Amino acid sequence: MPKSPDEIIREDIGALNGYTVPDSTGMVKLDAMENPYRLPGTLRASIARLVEQAAINRYPDAAAAELKVRLRDALGVPRNMELLLGNGSDELIQTLTLATARPGAVVLGVEPSFVMFRLIAAFAGMRYVGVELREDFQLDAERVLSAMVQHEPALVFLAYPNNPSGNLFDEELVIRIIEAAPGIVVLDEAYHAFAGKTFMHRLERHSNLLVMRTVSKLGLAGIRLGVLIGPGEWLKQLEKVRLPYNVNTLTQVVACEVLQHGKVLTDQAAAIKLERGRLLRELGRVPGVTAYSSDANFVLFRINHAERVFDGLKKRGVLIRSLHGSHRLLENCLRVTVGTPDENTAFLAALAHAVAA
Ligand SMILES: Cc1ncc(COP(=O)(O)O)c(C=O)c1O
């Protein structure tokens, strides 16, 4: 008799709740921080031609050489820094944890933040230490610094702007953390397009700093491409853990083409930022709502009876994300992704009904 999963699968994995993705068929989908705009028809047509020619009978270019050249240019990567590509930045988080998971090694993050930092640390068998943010979602630098002294983390993850709060952490406090960290500090700039601020230009000053970007929030979530940027001495070790061919041919072809038309994406990001302003203003007018200002493409807000409101929105065909119950600081909090003007109008109308119901 073969053993049961309970006997074979690691106990800590058995006890985990995995990352769940709700069914969004037919809904106004404002739950995953996607860019609501598709690419223009001409660009889609040129992608179709390139895909037609792509040699998908062969493995992809393992070094993704052309894509790296385009990314260097598009992201403004300092000359003396290297790039490591991932199947989304989720995979880069995994690469980082696998490579640093010495026995007893610690990952440090702040709470609440992007849940995959904690989950992937668990996958790699690392201990995760979550340091609570202040009530206003700003860094509590003293707590982070003393946790670093106590736990000596191999890896520190900071999302900049943070998800789910949407704010940028104070730059000076982040620098203090980088300077005091005994290991790597990863600045996850997934929402950079909507924030403008970056630590990219600081890479040369801090030898333990890595900057992570993704094309997901820019309008290319479907192709799965993340980028880690940093000094060669770190990246050449991490590169050993990367699976060969992790960035497939179609992703490479599409990303290269779209990056040559980068203005399309920056224009879309500008439209999203405008709508973010409108959403914040309108949310501020809903009785009982506290909306938190955002440097990302989503807005966190607190509302009475959040779970009931969330269900009411869903019943009216609008899917956002409830964070109620996930952390003490997120009591009665919901997070809405900025959509098209029509989608945002639909959300606001459904919200008015859900609140009144
Ligand atoms: C802070 C942060 N980092 C990374 C990701 C994941 O990005 P990707 O789609 O590149 O895996 C997300 C997705 O929501 C995020 O919020």
The pLDDT of residue 19 is 83
CB atoms within 10 A of CB 322: 19
**For 1-47, what is each residue's pLDDT tens digit?**
999 999 999 999 999 988 889 999 999 999 999 999 999 999 999 99
Please indicate, yes or no, whether residues 186 and 90 belong to a single structural domain of this protein. yes
Give the domain-ending residue among 217, 242, 260: 260
Is 147 part of any domain? yes
Please indicate, yes or no, whether residues 249 and 291 belong to a single structural domain of this protein. no
Q: Where are the alpha helices (DSSP H) in the chain?
A: 5-8, 11-14, 41-53, 65-75, 89-100, 115-123, 141-151, 171-180, 232-238, 249-259, 262-284, 306-315, 341-356
Please indicate, yes or no, whether residues 307 and 255 belong to a single structural domain of this protein. no
Residue 282's domain spans which residues?
A: 5-39+263-356
Please indicate, yes or no, whether residues 296 and 307 belong to a single structural domain of this protein. yes
Is 212 part of any domain? yes
Pocket of ligand 1 (CB under 6 A): 33, 88-90, 114, 159, 163, 188, 190, 214, 216, 221, 226
Atom of ligand 1 nearest to the CA of 91: 11
The pLDDT of residue 18 is 83
Is 274 part of any domain? yes
Q: What is the CATH number of the domain that holds 116?
A: 3.40.640.10
Minimum CA distance residue for ligand 1 atom 12: 190
Ligand 1 centroid from CA 119, angstroms: 13
Is 225 part of any domain? yes
Best substitution site from 188, 189, 246, 323 to test ligand 1's pocket, by max atoms within 8 Å of Cβ? 188
Ligand 1 centroid from CA 357, angstroms: 34
Give the domain-ending residue among 260, 282, 311: 260
Is 48 part of any domain? no
Please indicate, yes or no, whether residues 209 and 278 belong to a single structural domain of this protein. no
Is 75 part of any domain? yes
The structural domain count of the chain equals 2
Give the domain-ending residue among 260, 291, 322: 260
List of the chain residues with pLDDT < 70? none
The pLDDT of residue 196 is 87
For residues 294 and 188, give the distance between their C-alpha atoms in angstroms, rounded to a whole number.
16
The pLDDT of residue 279 is 98
